Amino acid sequence: MPATELRPDPAAPPTPAVRSRLPAVGTTIFTVMSALANECAAVNLGQGFPDFDCDPRLLDAVEAALRAGHNQYPPMPGVPALRQALARKTEALYGRRYDPEHEITVTAGATQAIFSAILAVVQPGDEVIVLEPCYDSYVPNIELAGGVAVRVPLRADFGPDLDAIAAAIGPRTRAMLINSPHNPSGRVWQRADMLRLQELLAPTEVILISDEVYEHMVFDGQLHQSAARFAGLAARALVVSSFGKTFHVTGWKVGSVLAPAPLMAEFRKVHQFNVFTVNTPMQHALAAYLADPAPYLQLPDFYAAKRDRFRAGLARTRFELLPCEGTYFQCVRYAHLAVPERDLPETEFCRWLTREIGVAAIPLSAFYGDGREQRLIRFCFAKREATLEAALLRLARL
């Protein structure tokens, strides 16, 4: 049954006009493509969320927390047991000890963490360096804080262009956002990249916001080069992580921020008036679940196996596969497909792919301010084997 058309009531009082804080922003491509996938009964490899369940032990821990009465406000920075568990985990993985009392805050997901971090450190007129292509919340967050986004393109292979970054740093540069493993490309920063960045930032007052939500999805024996590993970066960094991404519970919207005490004090000033606190029983459950490191230590192998099977299937098509060193995203170039639609712009190609082939993807142009066209699209392989096989069967027509 079609939706009822909403018609204005001519007798109703007028609604006041609003001067938009984000006049160029509409509905995100992720929402648009997911809606189209539902409409077309397509396999949705667009939006980045798993279609499989989390570990039943984590659900058991949530139930135990609920029944234990953990249903009221927790402390503003987060449940102490969870902050302590994060401190132990970070020290074990990256060799840096963060004080749970003053240097760790639990957030309502990583997106809120990034927004609060930007609001905490960026004043009107400050410049913030972002590396394109980038996650779509970064620039609107900067603009809402009154800052100016300075877009620096990654290299053609999506690695960081440190010379371009150096050239972009100026007297008005207040902060810089980096993201590794990188969404949307799936590339991973190397130790040499981080050391060079540390050298570039050393003589500056630039604050680093390090988006590390895919920290446990690094493949082929590589190490995740967290900003926490490097003393010169850690001293100026707000390090953002995501329980939702790590434990297949994106809908819980629980993340974290690690930072030196002076930076964290400013972050919490914003956090307390933004969300104040985060879901209490989930925090208790995550604290208990983190006692066993196996779930996140096994994650690279878990997702690498999905990546390898998905890439093997895509290799039977005419898609050109780009490297995937981390995350759960695979980028492909469609310029060599034997179909007329190979000449379509990325967004139109994704619409065609969804409607006619039955598989939804995301155009990389959506991650650029200028909508740059490279005939590249992104698939998400954080899906059940049956989902991936169904998608590959449809894509085999290409």
354 Cβ partners below 8 Å, 6+ apart? 33, 36, 37, 40, 42, 360, 361
pLDDT-derived band at 351 (thresholds 50, 70, 90) equals very high
Q: Got the DSSP string for 224-268?
A: P--GGG-HHHHTTEEEEEEHHHHTT-GGG--EEEE--HHHHHHHH
Model pLDDT, residue 8: 72
| Predicted local confidence at residue 3, as pLDDT | 47
DSSP string, 349-385: HHHHIIIIISEE-EEGGGGSTT----SEEEEE--S-H
- pLDDT score for 5: 59
pLDDT for 239: 98
Instruction: Please determine whether the domains at 29-54+297-395 and 56-293 fall in the same fold group of CATH.
Output: no
Contacts (Cβ under 8 Å, ≥6 apart) of 81: 284, 287, 288
Whether residue 352 is predicted with pLDDT greater than 60 in this model: the reply is: yes
- Give the confidence band of 9 by pLDDT, cuts at 50, 70, 90: confident
Q: Is the pLDDT of residue 96 over 60?
A: yes
The pLDDT of residue 25: 87
pLDDT at 10: 79
pLDDT of residue 2: 45
Mind listing the pLDDT tens digit for each residue in 357-372? Answer: 999 999 999 999 999 9
Mean pLDDT lowest for which of 7-16, 76-85, 217-226, 368-377? Answer: 7-16
| CA–CA separation, 345 and 356 (whole Å) | 16
Nearest residue to 104 via CA among 239, 303, 235, 293: 239
Average pLDDT over residues 271-289: 97
The tens digit of pLDDT for each residue in 103-153 reads: 999 999 999 999 999 999 999 999 999 999 999 999 999 999 999 999 999
**Does the pLDDT value for residue 44 go beyond 90?**
yes
Please tell me the CATH code under which domain 56-293 is placed.
3.40.640.10
- What are the boundaries of each domain within the chain? 29-54+297-395, 56-293
pTM: 0.95
pLDDT of 71 reads 97
Query: Is the dihedral angle over the CA atoms 98, 101, 102, 104 positive or is it negative?
Result: positive
pLDDT at 278 over 50: yes
What value does the mean pLDDT take over residues 37-55?
A: 95
Distances (CA, A) of 248 to 55, 100, 326, 340: 8, 25, 16, 38
Q: Are strands 237-242 and 207-211 parallel, antiparallel or unpaired?
A: parallel
Tens of pLDDT, residue by residue over 160-178, are 999 999 999 999 999 999 9
Mean per-residue pLDDT for 27-52? Answer: 93
pLDDT digits over 215-251, tens only?
Answer: 999 999 999 999 999 999 999 999 999 999 999 999 9
Distance of CA 378 to the CA centre of its chain: 14
pLDDT at 7 over 80: no
Q: What mean pLDDT is reported for the chain?
A: 96
CATH number of 29-54+297-395: 3.90.1150.10
Sequence-distant (6+) residues with CB within 8 A of 150 are: 127, 128, 129, 130, 168, 173
